[in-house]
Chains A and B, each alone.
Chain A
Amino acid sequence: MVTINKATLSSNVWKNFFDRIKAQVKSVSTSDGRIRTVQNYTDSFPDSEIDNKDAYPIIVIESPIINWNDPPSMTLTKKKARITVNLEVYDSKSESAELLIDSVNNAIETYRKSLRDLGLRFVKLESMDNDEVFRGKIKVHVRRAVWTMEFVFTATRTY
């Protein structure tokens, strides 16, 4: 867990999500008794591995999208940053992709108290979607989850 502040907002929000998912989501057991172990945790899809079946499952924790436009209510000295973090699971098996995105979401949901202690409020799962792509002999199953949250900080005073 790394402290989050205005100066390190993007990097440390990403690091907290990355560390949490890497520590909590390691493998899943499918209905046929096989264990699928995550091969790669990264911040963007590794293009070179796209047709390599052994490179999957891959979990992508994207850099946060941060927006400072919304003013927080009841204060003139603070600013509110709206943060969106996209999490993606790529796998060559549909069932394990499903199980992995559930594990990812659970890892974040059960971490909400710690995230709140770091200053991240209203952490919630905004939406989920999926995609399936044929790549020659393999079919890549994609599961995406979009998490949103807020961070309030004291703004630098100007005149």
Chain B
Amino acid sequence: MINVKISGIKKLNYFENIDTITKKELSKKTIQFSKFVQKSAKLRAPRFSGQLAESIKVVKINDLKVLVVVDSPYGAAQEYGFTPNFLSSGMAVKGGYRIGDWMQAKGISGFGITPSGKPHPFIKPAVEKGLSNLPNMLQNMATKIANGAMK
């Protein structure tokens, strides 16, 4: 927590609304940053049906707290990898389908498959890319705050 107290010269009173403007701009930039990460993660997400990419959402908790949520049960498995097991072609999956249907769509023959379990990180690289753009966003925000406070 930083406390700033300015007193003395009358002109410095122009800065009295700096708190409101900073909160407003911070809120805007938080959303902007989260949306950047969301878009970047969607582009990076491994796809078969597209459900994983679709499940990446931005959830606003309050003005200064925004979450980028991967609302898919296999999101973490794709991001961090998993221990591979043999999946029989007869095994049922969500939506009334079987592993065999997926294998047929992919042109894979046999009694089943063993997925690689290799990680396909999509959130971490998206956040890293977002962080590389963050200084520009913050500079832009600082200029807006300064301009707004002087009005």
Pair count A-B, CB < 8 A? 31
Specify which chain A residues have a CB less than 8 angstroms from the CB of B133 in the assembled complex. Answer: 129
Q: State whether A48 touches B137 (Cβ < 8 A).
A: no
Specify which chain B residues have a CB less than 8 angstroms from the CB of A129 in the assembled complex. Answer: 36, 133, 136
CB proximity to A under 8 Å, residues B71-107: none
**Given A69-B24, A140-B43, A142-B43, A131 contacting B129 (CB threshold 8 A):** yes
Size band of the interface chain B makes with A: 10 to 19
Q: State whether B136 touches A50 (Cβ < 8 A).
A: no
Report the Cα distance A69→B54, complex, angstroms. 31
Specify which chain B residues have a CB less than 8 angstroms from the CB of A51 in the assembled complex. Answer: 47
Instruction: Indicate if A75 sits at the interface (CB-CB under 8 A).
Output: no
Q: How many residues of A contact B (CB 8 A)?
A: 15
Q: State whether A127 touches B53 (Cβ < 8 A).
A: no
Specify which chain A residues have a CB less than 8 angstroms from the CB of B137 in the assembled complex. Answer: 127
Instruction: Indicate if B22 sits at the interface (CB-CB under 8 A).
Output: no
**Beta-carbon nearest neighbor of A73 in chain B:** B151
Instruction: Indicate if B140 sits at the interface (CB-CB under 8 A).
Output: yes
CB proximity to A under 8 Å, residues B32-52: 36, 39-40, 42-44, 47, 50
Specify which chain A residues have a CB less than 8 angstroms from the CB of B151 in the assembled complex. Answer: 73
Specify which chain A residues have a CB less than 8 angstroms from the CB of B40 in the assembled complex. Answer: 131, 133
Q: What are 12 residue pairs bridging A and B, where the CB atoms are less than 8 Å apart in the complex?
A: A45-B39, A45-B42, A47-B42, A47-B53, A47-B54, A50-B43, A50-B47, A126-B140, A127-B136, A127-B140, A129-B36, A131-B39
A binding-site residues for B, Cβ under 8 Å: 45, 47-48, 50-51, 69, 73, 126-127, 129, 131, 133, 135, 140, 142
Task: Beyond the given A45-B42, A47-B42, please list 7 additional residue pairs across the A-B interface where CB-CB is below 8 A.
Answer: A45-B43, A47-B50, A50-B43, A50-B47, A127-B137, A131-B43, A131-B129
